[in-house]
Amino acid sequence: MDTVCPACRERDLVIIDLDVARHALTLISCAACGAKWWRRDGDAVTVDDVVSLVEEDARSGRSRRRQRA
């Protein structure tokens, strides 16, 4: 991923990839200025979008566990 920080243009980034609810989530954090941003399936999203996706995944996971019990 050839990415630069939108705040300071630094390339020293921490990138964490996650799979949530069949989506590829990526948290990108700038080591220089501390800016953070998220991507879902390659597109920019807000932290509220990420929280909603995680909540949705948690609800569906509880449903799957109840069905197996």
Does pLDDT of 67 surpass 60? no
What residues does 62 pair with on adjacent strands? none
Full-model pTM:
0.78
Residue 16 is predicted with a pLDDT of 97
pLDDT of residue 64: 52
Read off the pLDDT of residues 4-63 as tens digits, 9 standing for 90 and up: 999 999 999 999 999 998 999 999 999 999 999 999 999 999 999 999 999 988 988 754
Give residue 17's region: left, alpha or beta (phi > 0; psi -120 to 50). beta
- Residue 69, pLDDT > 90, answer no
Residue type for 49, please? D
Question: Residue 68 pLDDT more than 60?
Answer: no
Domain edges within the chain: 13-68
Q: In what order do the strands lie in the sheet with 36-40?
A: 13-20, 23-30, 36-40, 43-45
